[in-house]
């Protein structure tokens, strides 16, 4: 999966749609705001609570859109 390209596309969508990243080790991370993740060719920095989690893009196996709540 070309995670950096796919994620950049997802992050540029307007309005932003929250998504869940599924990793090769079984972990998953919810990204609820576009500022919650930074994408480079070599690394993803995901905001988790009050810290950052670093993941290599090659470990992303799925980007799952999450349903949005209508107001």
Answer yes or no: is 71 within a domain. no
Is residue 6 pLDDT above 50, yes or no?
yes
Phi, psi of 39, deg, nearest 5: -115, 125
Looking at residue 33, which CATH number applies to its domain?
2.30.30.100
User: What pLDDT score does 68 carry?
Assistant: 72
Is residue 7 pLDDT above 80, yes or no?
yes
The total of structural domains in the chain comes to: 1
Query: Could you tell me what percentage of the chain is helix, strand and coil, using 3-state DSSP and rounding each to the nearest 5?
Result: 25, 40, 40
Q: Which residue(s) pair with 44 in the sheet?
A: 39, 55
11-68 confidence digits (pLDDT tens): 888 999 999 999 999 999 999 999 999 998 899 999 998 899 999 999 999 999 988 7
Answer yes or no: is 70 within a domain. no
Answer yes or no: is 28 within a domain. yes
What residues make up the domain containing 14? 3-65
Q: State the pLDDT confidence band at 1, using cuts at 50, 70 and 90.
A: very low
């Amino acid at each position: 999966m070309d995670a950096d390209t796919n994620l950049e596309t997802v992050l540029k969508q307007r309005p932003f749609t929250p998504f869940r990243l599924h990793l090769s080790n079984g972990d998953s991370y919810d990204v609820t705001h576009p500022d919650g993740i930074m994408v480079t060719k070599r690394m993803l920095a995901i905001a988790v609570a009050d810290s950052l989690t670093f993941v290599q893009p090659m470990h992303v196996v799925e980007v799952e859109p999450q349903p949005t709540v209508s107001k």
